């Protein structure tokens, strides 16, 4: 036992003290935020401001109305021109327009105008076309209102009287499905990343011991199983440390923004975050997250350790041998998206009970509410099976590891590795 502690300590300290750990701990949230904001920014930037010429033969659209709308929304500029369609077709480019719309003469305000074409010399995105469409629609609505004799009061009644349907779970009304699926996605993906990144760290660590030829020195002092377990636990603690640092990071940022009372967007965001957190069961989700994170980590890390012990220096060997295991993790993510769309469906239920996918799939379901969406027995069964599953995979991997770590030479096949395990 004391020896395992020594191994854990070494594995943990050598990793936490590395520059790459500190950098990745800081950089990951920044990259994550950068990705989100960057995408939003690029998306915004990507929409070009369209300059569109309008030939109105119907007489419904006049310069004043178009100008007013241009001022209200400047994402596209509509300009009324007085030319024939043919000549505009030839010269719109030189006049500085991106495209043009011809509104035909025969238009009935009761029927609307369908399939107007926004002609341009290149393919415009649906998004930019819909902006133009929205603008014309506003003008068109006003026209209808005037023609129908609707005053502001009637118009408001028309706009506000609607029926909305919202899914509500009678067992657990706080489980808002919008918030729940967001948390589910985040938790599922976080576990996915941690499994892949730290799982391969375990594999690399084992390979390092083999290529440095220190494995035999160490196993003459401790049992191979102790060495493997110490490594897995040590690296698991590193992952946990990183996770807690991120939580602390979020907590600090949150408190600073609250304290400084920053007006504007940030407070709004904080406010909505507060509201969100009030609506879900944080302690339960956090507990389950750590449980499934550790369970899943033990399950996969031990398999990765077994693979690392079986291969030699060659990274390609390791990749080809670990491919099936990595596929299981990726497959779990596919199951997760199904589970979030239908958290009580058969895929979700079975996916969250079978050990190999349960860490990711169950974590995506839990935010929808326990016991509302996930009955206690399902949660209990899933946890028990995961514990059983990782004990089995650690045991199995221990057997493969014991033989593999002292083997040099040819890369074994999966069949041979199974033989080592059950010999």
Where on the chain is the footprint of other proteins (CB under 8 A)? 3, 6-7, 10, 14, 208-209, 212-214, 216-223, 406, 408
Instruction: Please tell me whether residue 73 adopts helix, strand or coil conformation.
Output: coil
DSSP state of 174: T
Q: In the bound complex, what is the minimum distance in angstroms from residue 222's beta carbon to other proteins?
A: 6
> Least CB distance from residue 324 to other proteins, whole Å?
24
Report the C-alpha gap between 85 and 105 in whole angstroms. 12
For residue 329, the minimal CB distance to other proteins (Å) is: 28
β-sheet bridge partners, residue 78: 52
102 SS3 class: strand
Which tokens in the block code for residue 80?
A: 């009324």
Task: Pick between residue 383 and residue 407 the one whose CB is nearest to other proteins.
Answer: 407
Helix (H) or strand (E) holding 103: strand 99-103
192 or 420: CB nearest other proteins: 420
- Name the residue nearer to other proteins (CB basis): 56 or 209: 209
Q: How far is the CB of 3 from other proteins (least distance, A)?
A: 6
Q: Which helix (H) or strand (E) holds 115?
A: none
Closest by CA position to 29, among listed 188, 252, 277, 203? 252
How remote is the C-alpha of 92 from its chain's centroid?
A: 44
Q: Terminus-to-terminus CA distance in the chain, angstroms?
A: 26
CB closer to other proteins, 73 vs 208: 208
Smallest distance from other proteins to CB 260, Å: 43
In the complex, the smallest distance separating the C-beta of residue 217 from other proteins, rounded to whole angstroms, is: 6
Are 310 and 402 spatial neighbours (Cβ–Cβ below 8 Å)?
no
Nearest-angstrom CA–CA distance, 362 and 340 = 10
Q: CA 88 to CA 371: how far, in whole Å?
A: 66
What's the closest the beta carbon of residue 405 comes to other proteins, in angstroms?
10
Q: How far is the CB of 177 from other proteins (least distance, A)?
A: 48
**CB nearer to other proteins: pick between 17 and 72:** 17
Closest distance to other proteins from the beta carbon of 304 (Å): 19
- Closer CB to other proteins, 6 or 150, in the complex: 6
Closest CA to 193 of 300, 278, 37: 300
Of 74 and 220, the one with the shorter C-beta distance to other proteins is: 220
String of DSSP letters for 334-372: HHHHHHHHSTTSHHHHHHTTSTTTHHHHHHHHGGG-TTT
Q: Name the residue nearer to other proteins (CB basis): 291 or 420.
A: 420
The answer to whether the beta carbons of residues 232 and 298 sit under 8 Å apart is yes
Looking at the DSSP bridge assignments, the partners of residue 50 are: 76
Q: Are 182 and 211 in contact (CB under 8 A)?
A: no
Pick between residue 7 and residue 88 the one whose CB is nearest to other proteins.
Answer: 7
Q: Cβ(260)–Cβ(40) under 8 Å?
A: no
């Amino acid at each position: 036992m004391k020896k395992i502690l020594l191994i854990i300590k070494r594995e943990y300290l050598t990793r936490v003290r590395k520059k790459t750990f500190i950098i990745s701990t800081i950089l990951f949230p920044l990259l994550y935020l950068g990705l989100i904001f960057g995408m939003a920014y690029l998306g915004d930037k990507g929409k070009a401001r369209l300059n569109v010429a309008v030939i109105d033969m119907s007489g419904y659209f006049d310069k004043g109305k178009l100008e007013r709308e241009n001022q209200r929304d400047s994402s596209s500029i509509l300009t009324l021109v007085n030319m024939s369609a043919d000549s505009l077709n030839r010269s719109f480019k030189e006049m500085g327009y991106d495209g043009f719309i011809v509104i035909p003469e025969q238009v009935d305000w009761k029927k609307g105008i369908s399939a107007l074409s926004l002609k341009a010399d290149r393919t415009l995105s649906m998004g930019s076309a819909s902006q133009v469409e929205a603008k014309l629609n506003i003008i068109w609505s006003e026209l209808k209102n005037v023609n129908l004799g609707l005053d502001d009061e009637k118009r408001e009644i028309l706009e506000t009287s609607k029926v909305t349907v919202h899914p509500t779970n009678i067992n657990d009304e706080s489980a808002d499905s919008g918030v729940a699926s967001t948390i589910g996605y985040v938790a599922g993906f976080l576990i996915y990343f941690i499994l892949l990144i730290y799982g391969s760290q375990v594999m690399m660590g084992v390979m390092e011991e083999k290529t440095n030829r220190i494995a035999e020195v160490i196993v003459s002092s401790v049992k191979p199983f102790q060495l493997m377990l110490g490594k897995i636990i040590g690296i698991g603690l590193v992952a946990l440390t990183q996770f807690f640092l991120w939580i602390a990071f979020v907590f600090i940022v949150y408190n600073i923004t609250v304290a400084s009372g920053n007006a504007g967007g940030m407070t709004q965001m904080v406010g909505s975050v507060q509201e969100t957190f009030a609506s879900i069961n944080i302690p339960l989700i956090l507990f389950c997250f750590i449980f499934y994170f550790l369970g899943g980590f033990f399950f996969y890390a031990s398999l990765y350790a077994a693979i690392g012990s079986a291969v030699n220096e060659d990274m390609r060997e390791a990749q080809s041998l670990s491919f099936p295991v990595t596929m299981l993790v990726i497959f779990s993510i596919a199951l997760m998206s199904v589970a979030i769309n239908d958290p009580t469906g058969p895929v979700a239920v079975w996916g969250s009970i079978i050990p190999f996918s349960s860490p990711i799939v169950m974590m995506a379901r839990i935010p929808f509410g326990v016991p509302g969406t996930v009955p206690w027995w399902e949660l209990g069964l899933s946890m028990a099976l995961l514990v059983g599953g990782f004990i089995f995979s650690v045991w199995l991997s221990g057997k493969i590891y014991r033989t593999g770590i002292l083997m040099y030479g040819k890369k074994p096949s999966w069949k041979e590795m199974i033989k080592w395990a059950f010999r």
